[in-house]
């Protein structure tokens, strides 16, 4: 898989970057501003304005703001976190290391899509009485990968109750969750911004899995692909997939039998009161819809390939316990609904079925 090749990207793309202001709690002089420009040569930063203490930066684009930190700031505080807090009423931020941050992109279409996927997660949890929490896009996780501290906000996810209870209540109530979830959903945006390039998204997913996330989904409608990620050594992965595949035809046969039996009852409803008939009709309709879903393409966490070291802007990145597979969506360029594909969850979300056909694309 070549994550540096974006040739398959759908051309429905915003060409101009979206800009926001990054307000600074300290004085910004022209020398410091020049240092920021020099440190970020590829970032289209706005012009210096001596009358304001803010920088105009593109959304979803990492910027190294180390020049604004003084030695005193570093000794007595976390200046990066101070800037994030100073801007928290205007924007959401993610960070990497001690001095890199970016403004999160909350475009409406990915938000609507993530809400649909979160609804499916919640329905699975409630229907199966699964103990745990469904996590929304405002959940903020802080963790380390290869000695570098990251703060990420997934589009959605799930954390088991068992894992959640390893964190003291006093820490749970703080801004950052110090342990990763069990399952993560990310959606690549059509908006411009360095972080929306596929190589950045791939690296992000590798960070998630390396941090301790068991499995994850990257929905890349821009590239007409969905990527499945998981830990290479995930416990019971093969057994879970084998069981899911073995049960699938049995589920279809059982449901077809139940549909036939219900149809026979409704063919001759003598002796049935109207309320019972109405209930049977409603049940029949639900079973027919469920049968359609079962007949969609079922995608399992199988045949994943270990992620090999890759070049990330001149730096070799290596994530040895991450495996991935790309599943083509085969969507028409003018499609309005997601593909007829069901993704079957593994690990802590074994039993979860993500129905991509419910997604609105426009």
pLDDT at 322: 98
pLDDT at 72: 52
* Parallel, antiparallel or unpaired: strands 183-187 and 215-220: parallel
Q: 139 and 224 in one domain?
A: yes
- The pTM of the full predicted model, rounded to 2 decimals, is 0.93
Distance CA 78, CA 98 (A): 8
Residue 42 pLDDT grade (very low, low, confident, very high; cuts 50, 70, 90): very high
Q: Tens digit of pLDDT for each residue in 61-108? A: 999 999 998 755 666 678 999 999 999 988 999 999 999 999 998 778
Q: Is 224 left (phi over 0), alpha (psi -120 to 50) or beta?
A: left
pLDDT at 324: 98
CA separation, residue 118 to residues 59, 182, 195, 337 (Å): 24, 14, 23, 17
pLDDT at 10: 62
Question: Which residues in 288-313 are b (16+ Cβ under 10 Å) and which e?
Answer: eeeeeebeeeebbbeebeebeebeee
Q: 332 and 221 in one domain?
A: yes
What's the gap between Cα 72 and its chain centre?
37
Do the domain assignments include residue 277? no
Number of domains in the chain: 2
Q: Write down which residue in 103, 130, 158 finishes a domain.
A: 103
Residues contacting 265, CB < 8 A, separation 6+: 272, 280
Q: Tens digit of pLDDT for each residue in 152-207? A: 999 999 999 999 999 888 887 788 999 999 999 999 998 888 999 999 999 999 99
Q: 120 and 86 in one domain?
A: no
Do the domain assignments include residue 53? yes
pLDDT at 145: 95
Q: 121 and 73 in one domain?
A: no
Do the domain assignments include residue 164? yes
Q: Tens digit of pLDDT for each residue in 251-300? A: 999 999 999 999 999 998 888 899 999 999 999 999 999 999 999 999 99
Radius of gyration of the chain (CA): 24
Q: 231 and 192 in one domain?
A: yes
Residues contacting 161, CB < 8 A, separation 6+: 131, 132, 133
Distance CA 305, CA 217 (A): 15
Element (H, E) at 225: strand 225-231
CA separation, residue 361 to residues 78, 82, 304 (Å): 40, 37, 27
Do the domain assignments include residue 45? yes
* Of 72 and 355, the one with more pLDDT: 355
Do the domain assignments include residue 286? no
> In terms of residue numbers, what domain contains 318?
108-235+299-358
Q: Write down which residue in 103, 135, 162 finishes a domain.
A: 103
């Amino acid at each position: 898989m070549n994550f540096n090749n974006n040739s398959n990207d759908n051309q429905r793309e915003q060409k101009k970057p979206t800009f926001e202001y990054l307000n600074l709690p300290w004085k910004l002089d022209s020398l410091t501003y020049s240092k920021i420009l020099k440190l970020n040569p590829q970032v289209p930063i706005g012009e210096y304005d001596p009358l304001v203490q803010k920088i105009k930066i593109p959304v979803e684009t990492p910027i190294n703001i180390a020049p604004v930190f003084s030695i005193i700031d570093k000794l007595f505080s976390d200046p990066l976190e101070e800037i994030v807090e100073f801007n928290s009423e205007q924007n959401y931020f993610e960070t990497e290391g001690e001095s890199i941050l970016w403004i999160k992109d909350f475009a409406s279409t990915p938000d609507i899509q993530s809400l649909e996927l979160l609804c499916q997660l919640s329905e699975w949890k409630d229907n199966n009485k699964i103990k745990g929490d469904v996590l929304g896009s405002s959940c903020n996780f802080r963790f380390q990968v290869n000695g570098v501290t990251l703060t990420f906000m997934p589009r959605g996810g799930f954390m088991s109750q068992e894992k959640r209870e390893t964190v003291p209540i006093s820490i749970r109530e703080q801004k950052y969750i110090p342990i990763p979830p069990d399952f993560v959903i990310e959606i690549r945006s059509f908006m411009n911004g360095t972080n929306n390039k596929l190589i950045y998204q791939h690296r992000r997913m590798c960070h998630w899995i390396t941090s301790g996330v068991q499995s994850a989904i990257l929905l890349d409608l821009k590239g007409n692909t969905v990527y499945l990620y998981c830990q290479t050594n995930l416990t019971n992965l093969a057994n879970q997939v084998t069981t899911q595949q073995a049960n699938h035809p049995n589920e279809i046969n059982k449901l077809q039998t139940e549909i036939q039996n219900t149809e026979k009852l409704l063919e001759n409803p003598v002796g049935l009161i109207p309320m019972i008939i109405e209930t049977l009709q409603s049940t029949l309709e639900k079973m027919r819809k469920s049968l359609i879903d079962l007949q969609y393409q079922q995608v399992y966490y199988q045949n994943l390939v270990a992620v090999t070291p890759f070049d990330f802007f001149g730096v070799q990145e290596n994530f040895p316990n991450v495996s991935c597979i790309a599943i083509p969506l085969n969507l028409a360029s003018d499609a309005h609904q997601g593909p007829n594909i069901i993704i079957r969850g593994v690990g802590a979300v074994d039993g979860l079925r993500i129905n991509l056909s419910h997604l609105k694309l426009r």
